[in-house]
Amino acid sequence: MPVEIDLRYVARLARLELGEDEIATLAPQLAQILEHAGRIAAVATEHVPPTASPLPRVNVWRDDEPEPPLPVDEALRNAPDREGDRFRVPRIVEGG
Amino acid sequence: MSRGSPDLCDLSASELGARLAAGEITCAELAESSLRRIEAVEPRLGAFLTRTPELARERAVELDAYLAAGGPRTSASGIPTALKDVLTTRGVRTTCGSRILADYVPPYDATAWARLSGAGAVLVGKTNCDEFAMGSSNEHSAFGPVRNPWDLERVPGGSSGGSAAAVAAGEAVWALGTDTGGSVRQPAALCGIVGLKPTYGRVSRYGLIAFASSLDTVGCFTRSVRDAALLLRAIAGHDARDATSLDAPVEHPGRDLEAGVAGMRIGLVAGALEEGVEPGVREAVRTALDRLAALGAELEEVALPHAEHALSAYYLIAPSEASSNLARYDGVRYGVRAAGEHTDVAEMMARTRGRGFGPEVKRRVILGTYALSAGYYEAYYGQAQRVRTLIIRDYEAAFERVDVLVSPTSPTTAFRLGERLDDPLAMYLSDIFTIPANLAGVPAVSVPCGFADGLPVGLQITGPPLAEARILRAASALEADLGLDLRPPLLASL
C-alpha cells in the first residue's frame, strides 16, 4: 500500500524548513522507506511487550554530590548570539 | 608480497607497547611516524576533519618524560589515536560531520576519550563521518567523502569511515568510532581491519553526541584482535554520567585470545549466505568457516526467525530517537544559526535546521517525526519496539544452542563512490547483517576473513551480552590461522 505523507505538516512538527525541490525528492524516498518499514505490521505481536532499551536498567541512582558547575563563559562560548550572561534569541511571543 | 616497508605507525599497539617498555622507541618517535603518514596519505584519503599535530607532539614529549621518570606504562601509552568526530574533545572542534556544528568546541571530554587519554593515548585528530553518524558510506559528511585505502574510487563504509580508513592506512594505530546500526563493523570490514561493537552499556555514552540513544555504542578500530581487546579494556566500565552504562565488572576481554576454538559451538545465521550476498563475499566467508571447523569448532546453522524484520524495525526506531535527540540543534545554545532577520524564534529554528542539516539527516528527522506523530505512533514505533523484543528473544534462544553466531559483516565489499547515494533504501541494506546486534544490545566483532576481487571481506562474530572475550577468542583463532596480508595497496606507493 503506497504511503502518503503530508510532508509540509511533518516538517512543521519537526521545525525543519524544506524547499520545494527537497519535498519533491523526499516524498517518493520516504514512501519507499515506509513501505519497507511498514512490513513489520505483518508480524504477530499480541502479548509481546515493547522494548525501549536492550538491557534495561530502572531507577538508576547515584549520590547527590556537588561538583563545580561549568563556568558561565564556557557554557556560553558556543552560543550563536548572547547578551551578557544570557542566550539571545528572536522574539518568542507577540508584542514582546 | 611486500607493500612498502612498515613504519612504526604500521605496527600493532601491543607490539609498540613492548618496544616502548624495552626502551627501543620513544612516544615522540611514534607520534612523528603517525604524523608523517598523515601528511603522506591524507590528501588522497580525507579521513580527518581536524588534525592535532601540535597537541600530539606536546603530549608525546610529556609522556616520554613521565615514563622516563618511572611513571607506569599502560597498553595505551603513546599510541597514536584517532577519534570519530562525534566524540567530544575538550578544546578541540567536534563537528559530527555537520555544517550545524562546524565551529563547535566542546567544554568537556567524552568519557571513553577521557579514559583513553588518561591512560596515555595520543590524539592525532578527529575523523570524518557521515553527518551525525547517519550513513553507511561516509558520503553524507558535510565536509566531503573519505576514500577507501584499498581503492580510492570506493567508499570506506560508514558511518565511521574516517576512523576505519585512518587505521587501515596507518595514520593512527587505533581509533574509536560509534556503532548504532553497524557503523564500526561495516567500515572495518570494507577497509580490512578489526571492528568491535561492545555490549550496549559496556562503554559510557557520555560525550558521544547522541544519534539513537537505545542503540548507540562506542566501538574500537584496530589492526589486530589483541589490540581490540586492549582498546576496549581501556575504555570500558561503569560511568555515573551515563545512566545506561552497565556496572558489571570489566574482565579483560583479551583473556582467552590464545584459547582457540576447539569445541566451540559456532552458529551460521540461517540465510546469511543466500541471495543478496555477493558471490565473492560468500566464498570468503565459507572458506573462513571451513578453517574454523578445521580448528575444531562445531558448526551448525541457527535461525534468527525475526531478523528479517530487523531492518524495518531499525528504520523506525533509530529515526524516531534521532528526531528527538536532534531537536537540540535549534540555533540557541550552540551551533550555527541561520543568518538574516527572523520574524520569530520558530522561524529562526526552522531555517537554522533547514540550512544546517544535510539530506540524510533531514530524511531521518522527517521519518522519525512522522513515526512518532499522533495516529501513527502505535503502528510504527510501538510495533517496531515489539519486534525488537522478538529479535532479542531470537538471540536468547540461539545462544542456548551455540556459543557464538557468524555471518558476513556486509553483503558486499566496498562499493563505488556515488553508487548508492540516490537510493537510500539500497544504502540502508548495507547494514542488514549488523543491525540486529544493535537492536538486541549484544556484542559483535568484524574480523578480516579474506578478499573478493582484491577487496577485503569481514566475518561478523556475535555473542551474548558481555561475551566480548568469547567473540574475540574466535576472531583471534581465525586471524592467526588465516595470516592475511592486510596492508592496503595505497601504502606501496609511499
Per-domain residue ranges of chain B:
8-267+400-493, 308-386
β-bridge mates for residue A83, sequence order: A86
Strands (E), B15-150: 48-51, 80-84, 122-127
Question: Which candidate from B315, B385, B442 shows the least CB-CB separation from A37?
Answer: B315
* Best residue of A8, A13, A15 to probe chain B, by most B CBs closer than 10 Å: A15
- Residue A23 parent element (H or E): helix A20-37
Cβ contacts of residue B17 below 8 Å, gap of 6+? B73, B75, B77, B79
Per the CB < 8 A criterion, the answer to whether B215 and B198 are in contact is no
User: Could you report the per-residue pLDDT of A44-86, keeping only the tens digit for each?
Assistant: 999 999 999 998 777 888 888 999 999 999 999 999 999 999 9
Question: Which candidate from A18, A77, A90 shows the least CB-CB separation from B342?
Answer: A90
Are residues A40 and B313, on separate chains, in Cβ contact within 8 Å?
Answer: yes
Q: Which CATH number fits domain B8-267+400-493: 1.10.3720.10, 3.40.50.620, 3.40.50.300, 3.90.1300.10?
A: 3.90.1300.10
Catalytic center residues of B? 84, 159, 183
What residue type is assigned to position A85 of the chain?
D
From chain B, the residues in CB contact with A92 under 8 A are: 344-345
In angstroms, the CA B364 to CA B399 distance is 33
What ipTM was assigned to the predicted interfaces of this complex? 0.94
Cβ contacts of residue B299 below 8 Å, gap of 6+? B266, B267, B268, B289, B292, B293
Are residues B379 and A41, on separate chains, in Cβ contact within 8 Å?
Answer: yes
- SS3 category, B289: helix
- SS3 category, B203: strand
Alpha helices in B46-110 (DSSP H): 53-68
CB of B429 less than 8 A from some CB of A: no
Here the cell at position B208 is: 558521544
In angstroms, the CA B414 to CA B430 distance is 10
What DSSP state is assigned to residue B409?
S
Distance from CA of A36 to the nearest CA of B (A): 6
Question: Which candidate from B334, B345, B424 shows the least CB-CB separation from A33?
Answer: B424
Which sequence spans correspond to the domains of chain A?
7-42
Are residues B348 and A90, on separate chains, in Cβ contact within 8 Å?
Answer: yes
In angstroms, the CA A14 to CA B317 distance is 16
In angstroms, the CA B36 to CA B71 distance is 27
Are residues A13 and B386, on separate chains, in Cβ contact within 8 Å?
Answer: no
Are residues A78 and B384, on separate chains, in Cβ contact within 8 Å?
Answer: no
Measure the CA angle with vertex A35, ends B420 and B378; round to 5°.
Answer: 125
In angstroms, the CA B60 to CA B55 distance is 9
CB of B364 less than 8 A from some CB of A: no
Closest CA to B455 of B105, B167, B231, B187: B187
Q: What is the sign of the dihedral through the CA atoms of B258, B263, B265 and B266? A: positive
From chain B, the residues in CB contact with A78 under 8 A are: 103-105, 333-335
Distance from CA of A9 to the nearest CA of B (A): 9
Per the CB < 8 A criterion, the answer to whether B75 and B227 are in contact is no
Chain B (465-484) residues lying within 8 Å, Cβ to Cβ, of chain A:
465
* Distance spanning both ends of chain A, measured CA to CA: 48
C-alpha separations of B322 from A60, A66, B134, B270, B368 in Å: 23, 31, 10, 31, 7
Cβ contacts of residue B41 below 8 Å, gap of 6+? B149, B169, B170, B171, B490, B491, B494
From chain B, the residues in CB contact with A66 under 8 A are: none
Residue of A nearest to B105 (CA): A78
Distance from CA of A62 to the nearest CA of B (A): 7
What tens-digit pLDDT sequence spans chain B (494 residues)?
345 568 999 999 999 999 999 999 999 999 999 999 999 999 999 999 999 999 999 999 999 999 999 999 999 999 999 999 999 999 999 999 999 999 999 999 999 999 999 999 999 999 999 999 999 999 999 999 999 999 999 999 999 999 999 999 999 999 999 999 999 999 999 999 999 999 999 999 999 999 999 999 999 999 999 999 999 999 999 999 999 999 988 889 999 999 999 999 999 999 999 888 999 999 999 999 999 999 999 999 999 999 999 999 999 999 999 999 999 999 999 999 999 999 999 999 999 999 999 999 999 999 999 999 999 999 999 999 999 999 999 999 999 999 999 999 999 999 999 999 988 888 888 899 999 999 999 999 999 999 999 999 999 999 999 999 999 999 999 999 999 999 999 998 88
What residue type is assigned to position B25 of the chain?
I
Burial B154-175 (b: 16+ CB within 10 A, else e): bbbbbbbbbbbbbbbbbbbbbb
Distance from CA of A82 to the nearest CA of B (A): 9
